[in-house]
Amino acid sequence: MSKPSTAFVQDDYQIPDHPLHETVKGLLAQRYGAARIPGISGLNDTLEHLLAHRSVRRYLPRPVSDQTLEFLVAAAQSAATSSNLQLWSVVTVADPERRRELAKVAGGQAHVAQSPLFLVWLADLHRVSEIADRRGTSKGGIPYLETFLSAVVDTALAAQNAVVAAESLGLGTVYIGAVRNQPNRVAEILSLPPNVFAVFGMCIGWPDPEIQTAIKPRLPQEVVLHRDVYRSVENHLRSLEVYDREVIAFQRRTKSSSQKSWTEKAAESIATVQALGGRHVLRDELLARGVGLE
């Protein structure tokens, strides 16, 4: 059986006509384009949920139960963690006034105040620092970048596990990176102690069926998948041109306010200090929070 000419390294396996397989095939087509679907075997519900991910910002006025929240935290705690230190915590914010203040920090994003469940995920070095104090041991490793980076990675892994778990239950989610706009203000709102940093927020709720959120196309795999050695952008210019056209077409289909290509937007995001949205002072704010970066 001849293999199609494609950017993917494909198996000879052909996706059969089965409801789950057809669903996955459709999801892959939305991610990469119908002409570049990779062959794959062993399809399952987990793959379907992962491939179907999309950001959801409009929710039904239906609460998310405490039981569900605890299940999501259990999924988060099942993620990998560096040396089992578990250097993260999460705050669920129910108080309307705190929600409104966090929405202001996040640039007025209405879903921060309106979503049924709002979580703030924290890189938490306070807990282990307090344990060291109680045990009478030194804390010479706390003020180093590696320790902080481990906490941020732990936080991200845990949060993504929670997202996958939420989506498997039919919930929708969206990350809110804009809580990093004003770390000290967020710390004030949530009464965070020193050595704790809000990495991102997360809205969770039952998606409003009246708002059909589309699956956003991603970069072609040959741009992000390197084999043995890193290959620079010069090797992928054609693929990036194709992707730019797909992104613009997606924006037109979804009536997005942006009509910029991906490469244009990516370049603009690092063009100036102003493009960082005020986060150029993040290092100073981290130091003020007691987070060391030596």
| Residue ranges matching CATH 3.40.109.10 in the chain | 66-210
Neighbours of 120 (CB within 10 A): 23
5 in Cβ contact with 29 (< 8 Å):
no
Residue 44: pLDDT band with limits 50, 70, 90 = confident
CA nearest neighbour of 246 among 268, 275, 214: 214
Q: Which residue has the higher pLDDT, 255 or 219?
A: 219
CA angle 248, 249, 251 (to 5 degrees): 65
Domain 66-210, what fold? Answer: NADH Oxidase (3.40.109)
- pLDDT tens-digit map of 141-169: 999 999 999 999 999 999 999 999 999 99
Dist CA 282 CA 294 (whole Å): 15
Q: Looking at 6-15, 92-101, 169-178, 221-230, which range is the least confident one?
A: 6-15
Environment class of 76 (CB within 10 Å of its CB; exposed 0-12, middle 13-18, buried 19+): buried
- The 8-class DSSP code of residue 207 comes to B
Dist CA 103 CA 179 (whole Å): 9
Tokens of 18: 């089965």
Environment class of 98 (CB within 10 Å of its CB; exposed 0-12, middle 13-18, buried 19+): middle
pLDDT score, position 40: 64
Instruction: Using the predicted structure, report yes or no on whether residue 26 has a pLDDT greater than 70.
Output: yes
Instruction: Using the predicted structure, report yes or no on whether residue 17 has a pLDDT greater than 80.
Output: no
Mean pLDDT, rounded, of the chain: 88
Instruction: Using the predicted structure, report yes or no on whether residue 195 has a pLDDT greater than 90.
Output: yes
Instruction: Using the predicted structure, report yes or no on whether residue 13 has a pLDDT greater than 70.
Output: no
Q: Is the dihedral of CA 16, 21, 25, 28 positive or negative?
A: negative
Residue 173: pLDDT band with limits 50, 70, 90 = very high
Instruction: Using the predicted structure, report yes or no on whether residue 2 has a pLDDT greater than 60.
Output: no
Q: Which residue has the higher pLDDT, 27 or 40?
A: 27
Tokens of 230: 């890193």
